Amino acid sequence: MRWTIKPKPDATKVAALQKALQVDEIVAKLLVQRGISTFEVAKKFFRPELSDLHDPFLMKDMDLAVARIEQAIANSENIMVFGDYDVDGTTSVALVSSYLQTYYPNVATYIPDRYKEGYGVSYAGIDYAEDNGITLIIALDCGVKAIDKVAYAKEKGIDFIICDHHRPGNKLPAAIAVLDPKRSDCSYPYDELCGCGVGFKLIQALGSRKGETTEDLIPYLDLVATAIGADIVPITGENRVLAYFGLQVINTNPRIGFKAIIKQIKKEVLTITDVVFVIAPRINAAGRMEHGLHAVNLLTETNSEQAEQFAASIEQYNSDRRELDQEITKEALVQIIDSKEEEQFTTVVYNENWHKGVIGIVASRLTETYYRPTLVFTKSGDKLAASARSVKGFDVYNALEACAEHIEQFGGHKYAAGLTLSEAQYSGFKTQFEKVVAETIDPNLLVPEISIDAALDFNEINPKLMRIINQMAPFGPGNMSPVFMTDNLQDTGYAKGVGQEEAHLKLSATQKGSKQIGAIGFNLGDKLPLVQNKKPFSAVYSLDENEWKGTVSLQLKLRDIR
């Protein structure tokens, strides 16, 4: 691990903010590091309001999208809401379809089959629309590159409205409207929305035409918060507002489908971390193991008994998915070890029998293990399909773009992407991808980095600091949970390995005779010798609360020790 301490924030700004907010210096430092340097900006950060959301009509083509939907409703046309099979796609479809169905009945939903149709807008989906007399398709979390497919639909008299957040190509599809804040000609003030976030802006615009306020749309924000967490978009600006209120909905009045999932996991208060690691994998499991439409059915269900049956099925899909991804990860690791003749800048593995639904998870696990831009390939029909994951600071989308001559189709983001190519191109692609990464990556990026906000003494750690840190949530990219470093620590003598195979490290630390604070380090069990016999050590950690027999105490959540 590389320990990197962030540059010290401007001392004048820190002093001014400390005075304005009447907080400790460490809190003012953390806020200034996050670009929060005035009372007003701090107020918006700690107390988000729905009024902070931007006017949806600032988004390019929003007026055209709203006009076409209103026209479809006036003419009693059939509308199809189409979305990808992952969490962002299925929550988007649930959001827009359930909203439209509150006042218009002729709305169908469609999620492509991961295995038969692949990612994004599909010819099969357009054919289905034609067969069912559908004349308008609203595509969510996909479509910004679907030039040929939108043209194909147009020939059949079917119009498209695209709501996407992926990077467009050089040319846009000939849709009625392309809502994508990443369009170069779109001046919308915030361009980090997820697909479901763009879908929310669409229903916000539609609602405003019917006299609805944003407050009327609060019940839909449980879906938006889930997509924000699962799609790992920055939790800044509008996303912070949407996630903040969405978490409130999840914890106080979630839709029946969420209630059924929460009942399965038996957790009272959910954070954005729970959404990412507990709720999202279950929603994702439907599309990975069976069909994404199962997730949409759960998220739009209004009958409690039916929702609980759907949730039980999805729980089983998730259990099957977990077994499968562990098995495939083991096989991939063996393949990597067997092929390691020289140091590589990339990890690329392939097995035609690997389950397409879990290769993205496997790619993430391999990236964690070897910390290289990673691709996991499997057979998909007569093509090869892959999921790509990257390391912090390296744009894997750009690297794939530099290998475009070998690829038939690709799309995604800086850190995660998907692609298909012919089997004949696999070898050439693998060589080219290694070459591109080797020539463009900073070697430092191949060592995992822990970014540290500030050095902290134990005497600065108290319940008041913990309370303020809790108020800085929801955490995520752009607003990560603060990470601290403390030197000259000693264990009080009770350090031990805990958990299965003693994989985790539990200890109680003191600094220069100060108070002692309990600490837990997940997957740091191998570091036990560093702290035994009261050897001095340094630790990087975030602050956490531990509840035991009704008593809540502060603890360190260790990230690394030296």
d(CA 305, CA 302): 9
Give the pLDDT score at 341: 56
Within a domain: 365:
yes
Tell me the sheet residues that pair with 386.
377, 419
SS3 of 222, please? helix
Looking at the fold, whether 107 and 230 belong to one and the same domain comes out as yes
Joined together, the tokens standing for residue 386 give: 């892959």
How far is Cα of residue 15 from the mean position of the Cα atoms in its chain?
35
d(C-alpha 344, C-alpha 396), whole Å: 16
Rounded-to-integer distance, Cα 320 and Cα 315, Å: 9
Quote the pLDDT of residue 552: 84
Tokens of 246: 């969405």
Residue 410 CA to chain centroid, in angstroms?
A: 19
Q: Is residue 248 part of a domain?
A: yes
The answer to whether the CB of 227 falls within 8 A of the CB of 195 is: yes
The closest alpha carbon to 303, from 260, 263, 264, 256, belongs to 256
Cα–Cα dist 420/378, whole Å: 10
- Asked if residue 160 and residue 26 are part of one domain, the reply reads no
DSSP state of 476: B
Q: Which of 420, 446, 472 is the last residue of a domain?
A: 446
Question: Is 333 among the domain residues?
Answer: no
Based on the fold, state whether residues 528 and 439 are members of the same structural domain: no
**Judgement on whether residues 34 and 65 belong to the same structural domain of the protein:** no
Residue 328 lies in a domain: no
Q: Which of 403, 425, 446 is the C-terminal boundary of a domain?
A: 446
Rounded to 5 degrees, what are φ and ψ at 495? -60, 140
CATH code (residue 481): 2.40.50.460
CATH code of the domain covering residue 308: 3.90.1640.30
Q: Taking the CA of residue 436 as centre, how many other CA atoms within 13 Å lie in the half-sphere pointing to its CB?
A: 20
- Specify whether 273 is located in the same domain as 419: no
pTM for the whole structure: 0.90
The verdict on 75 and 16 lying in the same domain is no
pLDDT at 263: 87
Q: What are the tens digits of pLDDT across the range 506-539?
A: 999 999 878 899 999 999 999 999 999 999 999 9
Tell me: do 84 and 220 sit in the same domain: yes
Domain contains 194? yes
Compute CA distances 155 → 117, 176, 467, 534, whole Å.
20, 14, 59, 75
Pairing of strands 2-5, 449-452: parallel
Q: Say how many C-beta atoms besides its own lie within 10 A of residue 155's C-beta.
A: 9
pLDDT in the model for residue 514: 82
Query: In a 10 Å sphere around its CB, with 0-12 CB exposed, 13-18 middle and 19+ buried, how is residue 459 labelled?
Result: exposed
The parts of the chain modelled with pLDDT lower than 70 are: 340-342
Check residue 364 and give its pLDDT: 93
Q: Give the span between the Cα atoms of 363 and 355, in whole angstroms.
A: 12
The pair of three-digit structure tokens given for residue 88, joined into one six-digit string: 């962002």
Q: 394 and 507 share a domain?
A: no
User: 469 with 433, same domain?
Assistant: no
Q: Do 305 and 417 reside in the same domain of the chain? A: no
pLDDT score at 357:
86
Instruction: Report how far residue 24's alpha carbon sits from residue 17's, in angstroms, rounded to the nearest whole number.
Output: 10
Number of domains forming the structure of the chain: 3
Is-cis flag, bond preceding 448, omega within 30? no
Task: Assess whether 384 and 483 both reside in one domain.
Answer: no
Residue with tokens 């983001």: 413
The residues with which 556 forms a beta bridge, in sequence order, are 519, 543
Q: Which backbone phi and psi does 44 adopt, to 5 degrees?
A: -65, -35
Identify whether the C-beta of residue 497 lies closer than 8 Å to the C-beta of residue 504.
yes
Q: Rounded to an integer, what distance in angstroms lies between the CA atom of residue 219 and that of residue 250?
A: 9
C-alpha dihedral sign at 272, 273, 279, 280: positive
Rg (CA), the chain: 25
Spatial CB neighbours of 274, under 8 Å, sequence gap ≥ 6: 267
CATH number, domain containing residue 354: 3.10.310.30
Q: Which two tokens stand for residue 169?
A: 């190509």
Q: How far apart are CA 173 and CA 137, in angstroms?
A: 13
Range of the domain at 541: 2-47+450-561
Enumerate helices (H) and strands (E) in the chain, giving the number of each.
20, 19
Residue pair 232/479 in contact by the 8 Å Cβ criterion: no
Beta bridge partners of 560: 540
Which pair of structure tokens corresponds to residue 141?
Answer: 């979390």
Query: Is 37 part of any domain?
Result: yes
Rounded to whole angstroms, the Cα distance separating 219 from 338 reads 52
**Torsion-angle region of 501 (φ positive above 0: left; ψ -120 to 50: alpha; else: beta):** left
Q: Are residues 430 and 461 in the same domain?
A: no
